[in-house]
Amino acid sequence: MAKISKDDRQEAVVVDQLLKKLRPFDRTYVAERERASGVQPFSRARSRPPLRPAGVWVRVMLGLLLGGALTQWPYPHACEKPLILYMVAVTTVLVAGLWGARASWRSRMGFAHMIALGTILWGITLTAQEVLPRVGYAKTRMSWRCVEKHAGADSIRPEPSTVAPFVLTQVR
pLDDT digits (tens, 9 = 90+) for 12-63: 888 878 877 776 666 565 555 445 555 555 555 566 677 899 999 999 999 9
Predicted pLDDT at 20: 76
Q: What pLDDT is attached to residue 15?
A: 82
* pTM of the model as a whole: 0.59
**What DSSP string runs through 110-150?**
HHHHHHHHHHHHHHHHHHHHHHHHHHT-SSS---SS--PPP
Q: How far apart are CA 70 and CA 49, in angstroms?
A: 33
Domain residue limits, the chain: 1-46, 53-135
pLDDT (tens digit per residue) in 144-163: 888 765 444 444 444 555 54
pLDDT tens string 99-149: 999 999 999 999 999 999 999 999 999 999 989 988 888 777 888 888 765
